[in-house]
Structure 1
Amino acid sequence: MTTVFEEDVLIVGAGISGISAACHLKKECPKRRFTILERRTKIGGTWDLFRYPGIRSDSDMFSFGFKFKPWRNAHFFSHGPDIRSYVQEAAEENRVFDHIRFERKVGSANWDSALKRWVLDVLNEATGETEQYRARFLMSCAGYYNYDQGYKPHFPGEDQFKGLIVHPQHWPEDLDYTGKNVVIIGSGATAVTLVPNMAPKAGHVTMLQRSPSYIFSLPSVDALTKVLQKTLPAKLAYKANRLRTIGLAHFMFKACKSKPTVMRRLIISRMRAQLKGSNVDMKHFTPKYMPWDQRLCLVPDGDFFKALKSGKASVATDHIKTFTPEGIELQSGEVLKADIIVTATGLNVQMFGGITLSVDNKPVELGNKMIYKSALLQDVPNAAMVVGYTHASWTLKSDLVSGYVCRLLNWMDKKGHQVVVPKADGVNVVDGLTVLGGLNSGYLQRVSDQLPRQGERHPWHNKQDYYYDSKLLLDEPVEDPALKFA
């Protein structure tokens, strides 16, 4: 027999977005009951899943931290365990654990217009029993990728490789790479993090890329941060550092988009300066695309470049012809010897945690829907989807969306409304532009037809602009002709 639970607000996912949503509800909607369904046995999402060497934020921690909880460490970047501890503290301080049900896998979610409820079919993976949850409002905080399986293309001849093949999403706890030759396939944030963190112990680390990426070095701790933290109260210092780093990231993104050729020269010249005195060929650091057409890789204190200059690491730019028993043969004929091959080849993107979504038993095709104010799905009642920024800290957007949802729920309570549905009457879709912005990264291109779209105008167009979104989500009136209330 299936157990039925009646809920008010149901949050899917207890990662950084889910905990943010829960804390906002606690503070801003104290009368609302909510429950979080989390498939894993711990909170933290990404920061509990990934355990590869050096796992860290690729955004600054002052904007990546929650708006309501100061990040007290002086480090600009931070490692996975520190971020997990920070999220844990936020959950404990706001008594969020009382609302979490772990080891719950959500299979489907259907809006029942007669009940005015979301009906979710859920598997309790701890007991094997099925459960049904009914909720007035649904928030998807499950991130944007598949937690079960990372993206790994099939490589010719990989079955004959005698060594070990590892994907960063499933890093073995007992992996010993001391003195081993390691080849890391990829050139994104994961690869540039792995190289300097594996190089000291490994025999040699080679980063094998098909094409170069932009890599930008920043100090892990800067002087002004330390001064502000020493001279100001903790909350005020955090606010000042947060405003400063948000502004810098905003300026960098806008400059790259408005003056791409200038910024391209600047970033490449900075990479050249980092490699001064080495014999590393700059062909490995001259991308074909413009800055922020794909994500910019940030590295602390130039650690990636230092690993290359030490001779313990190197870069190869080529295509794979085949795996061999001893390593990888490239199209150029060069052979990279390897004991361990790390496939840092990216993520499998999925929306809504892979849940089968429907309205009155009619499937919702996310690729045919636009997203209202980067928060609500077109034609889908009482549902919010948290999707962070692609060019700035994910948490900045999740905080804004959670704040907006609280405003929306409070306004509906005040007006006596039970249902809200976004309607995009007369608004056209912008071809090729998804909720995740205009990045042309491979992991987004593979699933572009499955992602919610953007519209041609406000409020269906996502500008990827924190300052604009702050006004849009937190200051503009909730009442809007595009929202149909009942």
Structure 2
Amino acid sequence: MSTPSIETADAEIPVEHVDVLVVGAGISGIGAARYVAVEHPEKSIVILEGRDRLGGTWDLFKYPGIRSDSDLHTFGYDFKPWTEREAIADAHQILAYLQETVDENGLRDRIRCGQRVVAADWDSAKRHWVVTVERSDSGERFQMTAWWIFAGTGYYNYDEGYTPVFEGRDRFQGQIVHPQHWPEDLDYAGKKVVVIGSGATAVTLIPSMADKTAKITMLQRTPSYIMPLPKVDPVAIGLQKAFGDERGYALARRFNIGKGRMIYSFCQNHPKAARKLIRFVNARALPRGYDVDTHFNPPYNPWDQRLCAVPNADLFTAIRKGKADVVTDRIVTFDETGIQLESGDHLDADIIVTATGLNLQLFGGMALSVDGKPVTLSDCVVHRGTMLSGVPNLSIIVGYTNSSWTLKVGILCPYVCQLFDYMDEHGYDVACVQAAPGMETRPLLDFGAGYVQRSVSWLPKQGDHAPWRMSMGFAEDKALLDGPLISEGLTFSGPE
């Protein structure tokens, strides 16, 4: 392809053009780039990462105990076996796995860190994207063009986490820390720590910090469902010993996908029984006489929000040993020495950790437009879980909320590569989807978590039938994406 240029008063400045621009060098972006590189080695690929290092979530978060909340046999890539003994892995193990993936697939030279995509405009006349990129070190902006954009940015705002407004926050004389911006030199040894929240981050922090603190308390307004999982998966270990890394990993992956789906279906179809079972498991892991129904009894049904996994029951062990406790109450105000609660109790604190969640953000915050007209995401409907109606030559990856995120990468990316095959074979250079007028729609993420509900109004929509419906089941998605390539709403065009 010829290199386009932009005209200035003095001269024409060449603009770099790539066939496939991957935005984000986290687990989704690296996976997408690998699939395109293997399936379409003739296409040029560049991965732009706004941060100074690759790894996304697993490089960003530095809080104690940061780990996966899914087993790595399903969270890992289908093409690269997970060979570590631990199935629930720490961040440094996942980062090492991603670094190996990059090097094994020749992606290192294609990743450009410290270059954030701030805007992308589809030019219908030139039939490509015009992308504005900002360098993190200098703030300098420049343009490049791309035939296709693959957004592997996840759906979190990596710059700022979510913190509600707490009355009296300015009065508190200790430290207030959000896990997304954890100071690496934070000294909590011998300190009284209150962790506000009951989600995956809170249940990770509590046991990881408990041995060093004088006292650590998980303060929650609403409990979450919490289930212990073995950190080492004996089934996966046995399968890999019996069949080798590659075949054993594939079998363990298939087994865990099925197990996860079975658990999810049981919780959805038999919520009362699932609630009783989870309560039974929690009660057995907690001290005798512990008030399970106050602190571990959510008002919603299992899997209406994501279940929190605690490897080897570490949270329950910390509580049982008296190193951590849980308080279920509402905050009235912060004061100089801690937190005043609605019940009249006071929690003394030297450090308050606001593990109150994350903010959603698509495309890493880049402004998306078509022929200069901004794209209103809430007007778009997602097709086959990856393309947006009215937006040509762009793919997104939104993983599962009820299973391992990366499972979606392993079926979406091959589908997009098949689109490339079809377009190359027929001489097409533009693919676009259009939703039928009046189609019934529903929220993209039909999920009760607070971070979703705060953002649902501006997110794209999903339709009421395939291929517009966002499945949350791996088997259903695989059947859809392995099905006929041409489906309702998908159109192609080529140069005149």
Q: Normalising to structure 2: TM-score of the pair?
A: 0.95
How far 1:228 moved relative to its partner?
1.8
* Alignment pair present for 1:149 and 2:160: yes
| 2:179 counterpart residue number | 168
In structure 1, how many angstroms separate the alpha carbons of the residues matched to 2:62 and 2:136?
23
Report the CA distance shift for 1:220/1:427 in structure 2 as closer, same or farther (over 3 A).
farther
| 1:478 counterpart residue number | 485
* Alignment pair present for 1:15 and 2:26: yes
Query: After superposition, where does 1:165-204 map in structure 2 within 5 Å?
Result: 165-204=176-215
| 1:444 counterpart residue number | 452
How far 1:442 moved relative to its partner?
0.8
Mean Cα displacement is larger for which, 395-404 or 165-174? 395-404
* Alignment pair present for 1:321 and 2:329: no
In structure 1, how many angstroms separate the alpha carbons of the residues matched to 2:463 and 2:328?
38
Q: Alignment partner for residue 98 of structure 1, among 97, 109, 113?
A: 109
Q: Alignment partner for residue 293 of structure 1, among 301, 304, 318?
A: 304
Q: Which amino acid aligns with 1:165?
A: I
Q: Alignment partner for residue 323 of structure 2, among 312, 318, 327?
A: 312
8 Å Cα contact 2:279/2:292 also seen in 1: no
Query: After superposition, where does 1:65-464 map in structure 2 within 5 Å?
Result: 65-277=76-288, 279-426=290-437, 428-431=439-442, 433-434=443-444, 436=445, 438-464=446-472
In structure 2, how many angstroms separate the alpha carbons of the residues matched to 1:384 and 1:443?
23
* Alignment pair present for 1:39 and 2:47: no
> 1:216-268 deviations in whole A, cap 9, x for unaligned?
11111133222222222110110111111111111111111111222112112
In structure 1, how many angstroms separate the alpha carbons of the residues matched to 2:296 and 2:471?
29
How far 1:298 moved relative to its partner?
0.8
Count of residue pairs the alignment pairs up: 482
Q: Secondary structure at the match of 1:47?
A: helix
| 2:4 counterpart residue number | none
Q: Which amino acid aligns with 1:213?
A: S
How far 1:410 moved relative to its partner?
1.2
Q: Which amino acid aligns with 1:47?
A: W
Q: Secondary structure at the match of 2:156?
A: coil
Q: Secondary structure at the match of 1:87?
A: helix
Report the CA distance shift for 1:90/1:97 in structure 2 as closer, same or farther (over 3 A).
same
8 Å Cα contact 2:381/2:460 also seen in 1: yes
Q: Which amino acid aligns with 2:312?
A: D
Structure 1 residue ranges without an equivalent (≥5): none
Query: After superposition, where does 1:45-60 map in structure 2 within 5 Å?
Result: 45-60=56-71
Q: Normalising to structure 1: TM-score of the pair?
A: 0.97
In structure 2, how many angstroms separate the alpha carbons of the residues matched to 1:3 and 1:286?
61
Q: Calculate percent identity across the aligned residue pairs.
A: 48
> 1:164-190 deviations in whole A, cap 9, x for unaligned?
000000110111111111000000000
Q: Which amino acid aligns with 2:247?
A: L
Q: Which amino acid aligns with 1:212?
A: P
8 Å Cα contact 2:35/2:414 also seen in 1: yes
8 Å Cα contact 2:195/2:353 also seen in 1: yes
8 Å Cα contact 2:195/2:219 also seen in 1: yes
| Aligned-residue RMSD, C-alpha | 1.3
Q: Secondary structure at the match of 1:123?
A: strand
How far 1:484 moved relative to its partner?
1.0
Q: Secondary structure at the match of 2:157?
A: coil
In structure 1, how many angstroms separate the alpha carbons of the residues matched to 2:58 and 2:227?
23
How far 1:426 moved relative to its partner?
4.5
The 4+ residue runs of structure 1 with deviation greater than 6 A are: none
Q: Secondary structure at the match of 1:114?
A: coil
How far 1:276 moved relative to its partner?
4.3
How far 1:416 moved relative to its partner?
0.8
How far 1:41 moved relative to its partner?
1.4
How far 1:423 moved relative to its partner?
1.2
Q: Alignment partner for residue 474 of structure 2, among 450, 453, 466?
A: 466
How far 1:308 moved relative to its partner?
0.7
> 1:259-284 deviations in whole A, cap 9, x for unaligned?
12221121122111211435344311
Report the CA distance shift for 1:78/1:228 in structure 2 as closer, same or farther (over 3 A).
same
Q: Which amino acid aligns with 1:233?
A: G
In structure 2, how many angstroms separate the alpha carbons of the residues matched to 1:225 and 1:458?
34
Q: Which amino acid aligns with 2:486?
A: E
Q: Secondary structure at the match of 1:63?
A: helix
> 1:308-365 deviations in whole A, cap 9, x for unaligned?
1111100111110000111000011100000000000000101111111111111111
In structure 2, how many angstroms separate the alpha carbons of the residues matched to 1:3 and 1:123?
17
In structure 2, how many angstroms separate the alpha carbons of the residues matched to 1:124 and 1:208?
40
How far 1:480 moved relative to its partner?
2.3
In structure 1, how many angstroms separate the alpha carbons of the residues matched to 2:237 and 2:30?
28
Q: Secondary structure at the match of 1:75?
A: coil
Q: Secondary structure at the match of 1:147?
A: strand
8 Å Cα contact 1:278/1:309 also seen in 2: no
Q: Secondary structure at the match of 1:232?
A: helix
In structure 2, how many angstroms separate the alpha carbons of the residues matched to 1:104 and 1:385?
19
Mean Cα displacement is larger for which, 400-409 or 219-228? 219-228
| 2:17 counterpart residue number | 6
